[in-house]
Amino acid sequence: MIKRNARVATAAIALTAAAFGALGTVATAAPATATPSIVRTAAPSAGELQSKLALVLNSGAARSARAAELEGGEADLAVVERVGGVMGSVPGLTWAVQNPNASGDTLDADLMVTVPGYGTFPPIQIAWRQIDGTWKLTSESVDTIAYYAGQQR
């Protein structure tokens, strides 16, 4: 009986060794890993940037939609709301986003502001940064616009 069990055990060990390779080596495989990918979308046009900024300044639009357009989200939106109030109080004030220039994940543009009786002011440099595939107005640009509106943080 012991001899028979020994033969069965020997056969089992031999089959196991054959299944895993000679001399008891075990095949291993490295776990699959994905390389991180950066989501890049095409740089928006001046018209698209104009629409994005118009949404941010639209106090009647959903706060979540407005904050989603800002690098600093809700924190930047508090500043933008004050700026929008000032801009809305100046009769005839118009603005336009012009000359967008993308470089990697940053896009610079000129914000042109015109006030009747004063004309068009020199361009204000503003920027968007691509974050998770979305171009967002940078917090620095929010501060720049706030500065010109007298609404610093």
pLDDT digits (tens, 9 = 90+) for 3-44: 444 444 444 444 334 334 444 444 445 555 555 445 567 899
Q: Count Cβ neighbours within 10 Å for each residue of 34-69 and write b for 16 or more, e otherwise.
A: eeeeeeeeebbeeeebbebbeebbeeeeeeeebbeb
The larger pLDDT score, comparing residue 91 to residue 14, is at 91
The larger pLDDT score, comparing residue 19 to residue 62, is at 62
31-35, 63-67, 86-90: range with highest mean pLDDT? 63-67
Task: Tell whether the model's pLDDT for residue 90 goes beyond 70.
Answer: yes
Q: Which sign, positive or negative, has the C-alpha torsion 51, 52, 53, 54?
A: positive
Mean pLDDT, residues 32-61 taken together: 83
The larger pLDDT score, comparing residue 142 to residue 24, is at 142
Q: Does the structural domain 46-148 have CATH classification 3.10.450.50?
A: yes
Integer Cα distance of 2 and 61 in angstroms: 85
Integer Cα distance of 55 and 124 in angstroms: 19
pTM here? 0.73
Task: Tell whether the model's pLDDT for residue 124 goes beyond 70.
Answer: yes
Residue 134 near residue 68 (C-beta atoms within 8 A): yes
Integer Cα distance of 90 and 105 in angstroms: 34
Tokens at 29, concatenated: 């495989």
